Amino acid sequence: MRRGRRTIVVVCLVLVSSTIAMVNHASQEASAYITRGPVRIESNAEFTPANGVVGGTGTPTDPYIIEGWEIDVRDAGASGVLIVQTTAHFVVRSCYVIGTYSAVSPGIMLVEVENGWIENNVVLDTWAGVGLYRSHGISAIDNMAQGNRHGIKLDHSYGIIVGSNNVSSNGWGIGVLFSYDNHILGNDIYDNGVGMEILYDGSEGNIIAHNNFIQNYDQAVDGTLLNNWDDGYPSGGNFWSDYVGVDNCSGPDQDICPDPDGIGDVPYVVDIGIEDRYPLMHLNGSRDVQPPIPEGQVNSPRTMGNITINQMRSRDGEGGIYTVEWLETLRSRFDDIQALRPQPEPLETDEIQKLEISRTQNKFQCLNVHSAKRN
């Protein structure tokens, strides 16, 4: 199913958050990372300082810590972080990995691993941003997977939590293959070829809820009929940028009217025979994960702040100039403008601001900011 051609205000919001925020953000923060070669750990005994461990003893209350590394695997032909056949508790956090889209080199890869926590990392242009194979008991939280062939990929894995991640501009956003009883919750999934796909026998019992699916070429694919695309009522399902329903009613059957509840009155069709019964009418949440980025790279934070996008013009594929304008409102779900240079001044409630942004592949630069009273 091809989606993402309809233009609505909320779509523009996230398109711009994935655009104007992707500016060079790092010259003053690059020192937060330390450059090193790929991390490779193939047993509990290999959690050592030589392999990138900076603390911890591997227990539930004191996990091994792998943190703060900048790892460039564009010429290495290897994973940025590879952990294989371990049971010790560990955390991989606040690392930056960049690779080559065409090479089979994952950014962070766990194989036959349990008791891991992957948090607040940035992975760009790899074969798979975060890959989990035959693993369980893993949490992947607050990571940015951008410009990869696969953003986050679960293969033959179970008991995984994938939450609050920024998954954008990948070939496939989140993939679930031969994997069951996983929770995909609260992620921003936008501008991917396929937002999320679930394939093959055994991929069942997965819960997909409270995610923002924004203008992916195909929002989602599920070939199994055995997963839950909402969290019931009143918790709700996911936000879909191409949902065209209205919110006039409430209740598990959406038959208490008029009584809007922030949930669409009719289900969203995910795939043939598969529905999100309680699609969200508004973007879910306002998360802001902004790990520092090495100089010369780009960042894509999640908040746009006190803004409802009014219009977007001149979007030009892989290159060109973007012109964007927004109107500040009091009803926004967002908190503040992040990582924008030059920084716009606070807007009056009737004021418009336009930004010109150049794009070369996945690098963006804010060229100019204009303010004017709204007609």
Q: What is the pLDDT of residues 95-146, one digit of tens each?
A: 999 998 766 789 999 999 999 999 999 999 999 999 999 999 999 999 999 9
User: Among 192, 244, 257, which residue's Cα sits nearest to residue 221?
Assistant: 192
pLDDT tens per residue across span 181-228: 999 999 999 999 999 999 988 999 999 999 999 999 999 999 998 999
CB 102 within 8 A of CB 124: no
Q: Where do the structural domains in the chain lie, given as residue ranges?
A: 28-276
**Higher pLDDT residue, 273 or 308?**
273
Report strand pairing: 172-177 vs 194-199: parallel
CA angle 197, 203, 207 (to 5 degrees): 75
pLDDT tens per residue across span 138-193: 999 999 999 999 999 999 999 999 999 999 999 999 999 999 999 999 999 999 99
Average pLDDT, the chain: 75
Cis-peptide, bond into residue 267, ω within 30° of zero: no
Integer CA distances (angstroms), 178 to 38, 83, 174, 182, 205, in order: 28, 20, 13, 11, 11
Q: For residue 44, what are the contacts with CB-CB under 8 A and spacing of at least 6?
A: 58, 86, 87, 88
Q: Give the separation between CA 105 and CA 148, rounded to whole angstroms.
A: 10
CB 191 within 8 A of CB 168: yes
Integer CA distances (angstroms), 283 to 102, 131, 320, 339, in order: 33, 27, 28, 21
**Higher pLDDT residue, 179 or 3?**
179
Judged against a pLDDT cut of 60, whether residue 28 lies above it is answered with no
pLDDT tens per residue across span 324-346: 333 222 222 222 222 232 333 44
Beta-carbon count within 10 A of 256 CB: 13
State the pTM of this model: 0.70
Q: Specify the pLDDT at position 342.
A: 33
Q: Give the separation between CA 306 and CA 333, rounded to whole angstroms.
A: 7
Q: Specify the pLDDT at position 104.
A: 76
